């Protein structure tokens, strides 16, 4: 099997190099060859990735093509490569795009080849070809098994285009605010000289009790404590404002807690934590007319 990578940035560069080092036949092309030169990508070439001169050369003779350019360029990339694709080839859209954007790419390019929806979940700098990924689509399971046999680490999500991309972007609703809230919190703690103590308290929060229990507890008890928690974060928001620190994550958290309070879930669950996490989620969906 020959695997071709469209784009040799953080993901494409590291994953392609990792596979090539394992003896997999790998080709790569990056539009930046034209401005930076191939020597800028010597990490890939030294690992054994064959750097080609054009999109046409990249596609010819390749079995699986993995597109890892940028989410904003997913459709543009597909338009650049479609004319060279054939029915026997597999095109994997692994950019961090939304389900609608992935379906748009699939509608455009799917008649030329087999199409797979996919995503990369962590920095490829850490794990290279073993970077956790996801895939979905009618033909994704078989392709996933083949790529995993070559050394990749892809989890099959289901047979529908959009499931893998949905997993990635929906997960970001938590991971991106978590990252930015952590920075906002530690910046404030640093000002008071307690950043290490606060950081250590987070480690304890997520390790002293099984993380599954902690996360479910946060959701189940929110129906009782949303107002109090909203009051607390609002006070911190005002404190940050007073001392002149950026507080936009705390502002957003305050607004969300107020919104959750106004749903009336406390009364719905009898002023007690909800029986299960999904009970809370279903009640929130119901309040928005989605269930």
- Confidence at residue 123, expressed as pLDDT on a 0 to 100 scale: 83
- Burial (CB count within 10 angstroms: exposed 0-12, middle 13-18, buried 19+), residue 211: exposed
For residue 72, is pLDDT > 90? no
At how many degrees (to 10) do helices 163-191 and 211-243 cross? 50
Instruction: Please report which confidence band the pLDDT of residue 70 belongs to, taking 50, 70 and 90 as the band edges.
Output: confident
* CATH number 3.30.450.20 is the correct assignment for the domain at 2-166: no
Tens of pLDDT, residues 91-102: 999 988 899 999
Of all residues in the chain, the percent with pLDDT exceeding 70 is: 100
Tens of pLDDT, residues 23-57: 999 999 999 999 999 999 999 999 999 999 999 99
pTM of this prediction?
0.82
Long-range contacts of 102-105 (CB under 8 A, 24+ apart): 102/74, 102/161, 102/162, 102/165, 103/161, 103/162, 104/75, 105/74, 105/75, 105/78
**Mean pLDDT throughout 218-226?**
96
- Whether 96 contacts 159, CB under 8 Å: no
Q: How far apart (Å, rounded) are the C-alpha atoms in residues 19 and 48?
A: 9
Tens of pLDDT, residues 144-181: 999 999 999 999 999 999 999 999 999 999 999 999 99
For residue 122, is pLDDT > 90? no
**Mean pLDDT throughout 210-221?**
96
Q: How far apart (Å, rounded) are the C-alpha atoms in residues 176 and 181?
A: 8
Instruction: Please report which confidence band the pLDDT of residue 126 belongs to, taking 50, 70 and 90 as the band edges.
Output: confident
- Confidence at residue 7, expressed as pLDDT on a 0 to 100 scale: 96
Instruction: Please report which confidence band the pLDDT of residue 1 belongs to, taking 50, 70 and 90 as the band edges.
Output: very high
Q: What is the mean pLDDT of the chain?
A: 96
CA count, 13 A, side-chain hemisphere, 2: 14
- Confidence at residue 220, expressed as pLDDT on a 0 to 100 scale: 97
Domain with CATH 3.40.50.720 in the chain: 2-166
Rounded to 5 degrees, φ, ψ at 197 are: -65, -40
**Mean pLDDT throughout 273-285?**
97
């Amino acid at each position: 099997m020959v695997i071709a990578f469209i784009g040799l940035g953080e993901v494409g560069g590291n994953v392609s190099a990792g596979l090539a080092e394992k003896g997999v036949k790998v080709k790569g092309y990056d539009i930046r060859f034209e401005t930076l030169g191939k020597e800028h990508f010597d990490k890939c070439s030294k690992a054994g990735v064959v750097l080609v001169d054009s999109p046409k050369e990249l596609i010819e003779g390749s079995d699986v093509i993995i597109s890892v350019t940028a989410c904003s360029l997913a459709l543009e990339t597909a338009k650049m490569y479609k004319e060279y694709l054939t029915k026997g080839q597999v095109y994997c859209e692994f950019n961090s795009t939304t389900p609608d954007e992935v379906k748009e790419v699939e509608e455009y390019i799917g008649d030329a080849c087999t199409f797979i929806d996919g995503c990369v979940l962590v920095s490829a700098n850490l794990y290279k070809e073993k970077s956790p990924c996801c895939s979905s689509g009618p033909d994704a399971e078989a392709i996933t098994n083949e790529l995993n046999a070559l050394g990749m680490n892809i989890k099959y999500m289901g047979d529908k285009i959009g499931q893998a991309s949905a997993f990635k972007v929906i997960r970001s609703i938590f991971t991106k605010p978590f990252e930015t809230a952590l920075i906002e919190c530690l910046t404030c703690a640093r000002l008071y000289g307690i950043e290490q103590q606060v950081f250590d308290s987070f480690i304890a929060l997520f390790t002293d009790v099984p993380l599954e229990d902690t996360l479910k507890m946060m959701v189940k008890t929110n129906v009782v404590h949303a107002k109090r928690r909203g009051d607390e974060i609002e006070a911190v928001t005002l404190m940050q404002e007073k001392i002149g620190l950026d507080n936009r994550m705390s502002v957003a958290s305050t607004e969300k807690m107020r919104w959750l309070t106004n749903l009336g879930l406390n009364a719905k669950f009898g002023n007690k934590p909800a029986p299960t996490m999904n009970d809370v989620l279903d009640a929130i969906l119901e309040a928005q007319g989605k269930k």
